[in-house]
Amino acid sequence: MPSPSGLTALLVEDEDLVRNYVTHILSQAGFLVLGADSHARALELFLNERVDFVVADWRLPDQNGQALLDYFVSVRPNLPVLLISGANPDRPHLAKPFTPTELITAVWGILGPLPSLP
């Protein structure tokens, strides 16, 4: 089913509670969310589904988020990506915990200008 925004997010987060929280926020903001709990599942979704942007955790059980994002960007250089982390990676990221407003602001920051309201 298409999302109201027309955009699909690939969310890569191994913690169920955080994945459900972020999925809820992004869905409420009008995005279709494809959730993955591992590097392997994220690759499967990325290769088989339409993905407009990625939100990924830094730490995954089977590989770190940096390696995953590096692969995605090597395949699609202009793919917008947002790293979310409780750790302190060297690359720009949204630190956990975050509010719904902080998440949506960060997402639109990687996508471009906020859409205008009707």
pLDDT, tens digit, 9 for 90 and up, residues 69-95: 889 999 999 999 998 986 666 666 898
CATH no. for 8-111:
3.40.50.2300
Token pair recorded at residue 78? 């202009």
Compute the mean pLDDT over every residue in the chain, rounded to the nearest whole number: 88
47-61: average pLDDT: 91
Q: What does pTM read for this prediction?
A: 0.88
Long-range Cβ pairs for the range 64-73 (8 Å, 24+)? 65/12, 65/89, 66/91, 67/39, 68/12, 68/39, 68/42, 68/43, 71/43, 72/46
Question: In Å, what is the CA distance from 5 to each residue of 29, 41, 57, 114, 117?
Answer: 8, 24, 23, 11, 12
pLDDT at 3 over 80: no
The more confident residue out of 85 and 108 is 108
Chain segment 94-106, per-residue pLDDT in tens: 988 999 999 999 9
pLDDT at 85: 82
Chain segment 16-28, per-residue pLDDT in tens: 999 999 999 999 9
Q: Show me where the domains of the chain are located.
A: 8-111
